[in-house]
Amino acid sequence: LLHRRRRNSNYSINEEVITMTMGERFAVAQTVSIVAGTMCYPIDSVRRRLMMQAGQPVEMRKYANSIHAFRTIFIEEGMRGFY
């Protein structure tokens, strides 16, 4: 998708400028948004779980830190636990 760009012919041959159409820009923006959301959601899920246990005494907490939370969630619930 990114390599199929139109070449703008308003410039001389030596000053060739590559531009993207509005449709290409929209497609790239949607793809980036979906990938970013998919990558960040597990981090946000761990953050929420750590916040929910913040008021408990240390000895009652299920997760010691964020790395421990990632590992525990993955082992106990699999990838579904993050989404």
Residue 63 has pLDDT above 70, yes or no: yes
The amino acid that residue 38 corresponds to is T
Band of pLDDT at residue 10, cut at 50, 70 and 90: low
Which of 50, 74, 51, 76 has its CA nearest to residue 63?
50
Residue 82 has pLDDT above 70, yes or no: yes
Any idea what the Cα angle at residue 47 is, between residues 43 and 48, rounded to 5°? Answer: 120
Write out the H or E segment, with its range, that includes residue 7: strand 6-8
Band of pLDDT at residue 73, cut at 50, 70 and 90: very high
